[in-house]
Amino acid sequence: MAVLNNKKQKVSDEVPTSSMADIAFLLLIFFLVTTTFPKDKGLAIVLPEQGVTQEISQRNILHLIIQPNGIVDVKRGESQQIQQMRAEQIEGLWRQEVSQNDNLIAAVKTHPDAAYEYMVDVLDALHSANAERISLQVLEE
Amino acid sequence: MSMKGGGFDRKSKASSEVPASSLADIAFLLLIFFMVTTVFQSDSNRPIEWPEAEAAMKIDEKQKNILNIWMERNGTVFMNDQPFTMPDVSAFVGPLYSMSERSLVISIRSDRLTPYIYVDQLQQELVEAGVVRVVFATQLEQSMQRERR
Domain ranges of chain A: 60-138
Please check whether the domain covering B52-144 is classified as CATH 3.30.420.270. yes
Verify whether the Cβ–Cβ distance B120 to A115 is below 8 Å: no
Cβ–Cβ < 8 Å for A65, A75: yes
Question: So what's the ipTM on this one?
Answer: 0.73
Verify whether the Cβ–Cβ distance A110 to B54 is below 8 Å: no
Verify whether the Cβ–Cβ distance B24 to A138 is below 8 Å: no
Residue spans of chain B under pLDDT 70:
1-12, 40-42, 143-149
Verify whether the Cβ–Cβ distance B113 to A116 is below 8 Å: yes
Residues B87-99: tens digit of each pLDDT:
889 899 988 888 8
Residue A30 above 90 pLDDT?
A: yes
- How many Cβ pairs closer than 8 A exist between chain A and B? 125
Helix B116-129 vs helix A116-128: angle between axes, to the nearest 10 degrees? Answer: 70
Please check whether the domain covering A60-138 is classified as CATH 2.40.30.60. no
Phi then psi dihedrals of residue A69, to 5 deg: -90, 5
Order across the sheet with A72-76: list the strands: A82-85, A72-76, A61-66, A105-110, A134-138
Cβ–Cβ < 8 Å for B79, B92: yes
Domain ranges of chain B: 52-144
The interface residues of chain B toward chain A in range 49-78, judged by CB-CB distance below 8 A, are 51-59, 66
**Which residues in chain B are contacts of A36 at CB distance < 8 A?**
none
What pTM was computed for the model? 0.73
